[in-house]
Every structure is written in structure tokens, then in C-alpha cells.
């Protein structure tokens, strides 16, 4: 493993897990593969006895888990976020198989924290959740019965992450980076999307169209591009100038 690889290279985020036992089983699955950084978003009863029982020897992972109220909060400092989803059809994000996802997560982990996100047991990640992700990970399951339980999905992904880490420690790989500018964090991307939304309002773009659909598309596009901080500054500048023009047009209209 590269000297730059942090001790806990990948954060596992479980969103609104319903059954405490599944949190415990997921913690165990993580630890068997050497992962310890667990974040729970709005979990139901994370300290339930079932969670502790099913964590078995991984109670330490459970005890150290951080609890957040939103996914946004859980991944705010992350440079790369992958969301695990059973449905790859309607997702605008680039789709990755577990092996490719593991490789990319480790590539990115040298630069900033990275996260792998799992949704609720029944319905998985919502479209809103997926809009905070740079990529969708899809376990290539049986199309006639693809319902891996939560801990099983965590197990498969953490297994691939472990294999990828072992492969890297074998060849002492370095962390690739695209240029001199650090990649934008998720919080910076959210600020950009908010600015983009205000600019679209200012130029009266949404007339007769669904803002949600358009914004989902635009989010997918810009998250996929993995913007760096300099690119973000350029885009903010463009948005501000377009807003200024719209304001000028509006003030003269009155």
C-alpha cells in the first residue's frame, strides 16, 4: 500500500438502516475485510442488542460508528462517493462493477476521504441520495433474484476493496492524481449546485420545465466530471457573470 494510503481508506455509510441486526452484520462484514470507518445516517436503534449480537467480534466498529442525520453531512468532506444500487437502469451516474469501484475508491483515497454508501434494506438508495454520488456500484446479481441483504452487499464490496488493497501493497502502487489542483469536496460541489440553481432562476431557464429533472441531469454530469477546485472557480465566475447580466436586464425591464 502506498505511504499516502490512510489507515481507514474507505468510509462505509449506511443510510436509514431499519433493522439493528443488519448494522451489526455489516460491521462484522467490514471488519473481516479490515475496514473500520462506519457512519450511520439516521439509523433506527443503532444501539439495539441485535446490532451488538450480530456484530460479534466487531463490536468495536459499531461502538466507534459516527451517527449523522443526513447523507450530505456524512460525506461532506469526501472527494469521491460511490453509491451501491441494485437498479442501474435509470441512474445517470456512471455504473461500476464492484471490482472497478474498489479500484477507483482506492485511487481517490490518497487525495481526500472517500465513501461507499448503502441504502435501506427494502428500497436502497433514493434518487436524491444518488445525486450525492459520483458513481453507482452495481453487484452483478441474478436478474431473477437480485436481493442481496445489506450485510451481504457490504461483504462483497469490502472483499473487493481488500483484494484491491492487497494487490496494491504487493506492487507498492502510487496514488494517481489528475493535476495540481485538489479535487472539489462534496460540500464544495453542493455550494456549486446551489449557485447553479440560483443562476438558472435568474436567467428564467425553468419556464415550463421540471427543475428537478434538469438539476438531476446537471448534477450527474458535473459529479461525473470530478471537478477540481480551479474548475469550480471558473464555473462560479461564469454563473456570477450570467447572474449579473440577468439582474441588469431585469432592473432595466422595470
**Using the rule CB under 8 A, is 34 a contact of a copy of itself?**
yes
Q: Are 56 and 31 in contact (CB under 8 A)?
A: no
Q: What is the DSSP string of 200-217?
A: HHHTT--TTS-HHHHHHH
Site string for a copy of itself, 115-154 (x = CB under 8 A): ------------------------xxxx-xxxxxx-xx--
**Options 74, 117, 156, 183; binder of a copy of itself; rule CB under 8 A:** 156
- Buried/exposed 215-238: b ≥16 CB within 10 Å, e otherwise: bbebbbebbeebbbeebbeebbee
42 lies in the site for a copy of itself, by CB under 8 A: no
Other C-beta atoms closer than 10 Å to the C-beta of 107 total: 17
Nearer to a copy of itself, 31 or 132 (CB): 31
**Are 1 and 107 a contacting pair, CB within 8 Å?**
no
Single out the residue of 173, 192, 201 nearest to residue 230, CA to CA. 192
- Check residue 178 for interaction with a copy of itself (CB under 8 A): yes
Residue number, 101 or 199, with CB nearest to a copy of itself:
199
**Residue from 92, 112, 187, 191 in contact with a copy of itself (CB under 8 A):** 92
Sign of the Cα torsion 69, 76, 186, 95 reads: negative
Among 5, 72, 159, 173, binds a copy of itself (CB under 8 A): 159
- The answer to the question of residue 193 lying near a copy of itself (CB under 8 A) is no
229: Cβ–Cβ under 8 A, 6 or more apart, which residues? Answer: 181, 182, 183, 184, 188
Buried b (16+ CB within 10 A) or exposed e, 38-61: bbbbbbeebebeebbebbeebbeb
31 binds a copy of itself (CB under 8 A): yes
> Is there binding between residue 192 and a copy of itself (CB under 8 A)?
no
Residue 111 binds to a copy of itself (criterion: CB under 8 A) = no
Rounded Cα distance between 157 and 30, Å, is 9
Pattern of binders to a copy of itself over 196-225, x per CB under 8 A?
---xx-xxxx--------x--xx--xx-xx
Which residues make up the interface to a copy of itself (CB under 8 A)? 25, 28-29, 31-34, 56-58, 90-92, 94-95, 99, 139-142, 144-149, 151-152, 155-156, 159, 162-163, 166, 176, 178-179, 199-200, 202-205, 214, 217-218, 221-222, 224-227, 230-231, 234, 237-238, 241-242, 244-246, 248-249, 252-253
Amino acid at each position: 500500500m502506498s505511504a499516502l494510503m490512510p489507515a481507514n481508506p474507505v468510509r462505509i455509510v449506511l443510510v436509514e438502516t431499519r433493522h439493528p441486526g443488519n448494522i451489526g452484520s455489516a460491521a462484522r462484514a467490514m471488519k473481516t475485510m479490515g475496514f473500520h470507518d462506519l457512519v450511520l445516517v439516521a439509523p433506527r436503534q443503532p444501539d439495539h442488542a441485535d446490532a451488538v449480537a450480530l456484530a460479534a467480534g466487531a463490536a468495536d466498529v459499531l461502538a466507534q460508528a459516527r451517527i449523522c442525520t443526513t447523507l450530505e453531512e456524512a460525506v461532506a468532506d469526501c472527494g469521491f462517493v460511490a453509491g451501491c444500487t441494485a437498479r442501474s437502469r435509470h441512474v445517470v451516474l456512471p455504473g461500476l462493477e464492484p471490482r472497478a469501484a474498489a479500484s477507483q475508491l482506492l485511487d481517490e483515497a490518497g487525495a481526500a476521504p472517500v465513501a461507499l454508501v448503502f441504502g435501506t434494506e427494502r428500497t436502497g438508495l433514493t434518487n436524491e441520495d444518488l445525486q450525492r454520488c459520483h458513481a453507482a456500484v452495481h453487484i452483478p446479481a441474478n436478474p431473477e433474484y437480485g436481493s442481496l441483504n445489506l450485510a451481504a452487499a457490504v461483504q462483497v464490496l469490502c472483499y473487493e476493496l481488500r483484494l484491491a488493497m492487497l494487490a496494491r501493497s504487493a506492487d507498492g502502487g502510487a496514488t494517481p492524481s489528475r493535476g495540481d489542483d485538489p479535487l472539489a469536496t462534496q460540500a464544495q460541489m453542493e455550494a456549486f449546485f446551489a449557485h447553479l440553481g440560483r443562476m438558472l432562476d435568474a436567467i428564467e431557464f425553468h419556464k415550463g420545465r421540471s427543475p428537478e429533472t434538469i438539476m438531476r441531469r446537471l448534477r450527474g454530469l458535473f459529479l461525473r466530471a470530478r471537478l477540481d477546485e480551479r474548475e469550480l472557480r471558473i464555473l462560479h465566475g461564469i454563473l456570477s457573470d450570467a447572474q449579473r447580466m440577468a439582474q441588469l436586464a431585469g432592473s432595466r425591464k422595470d
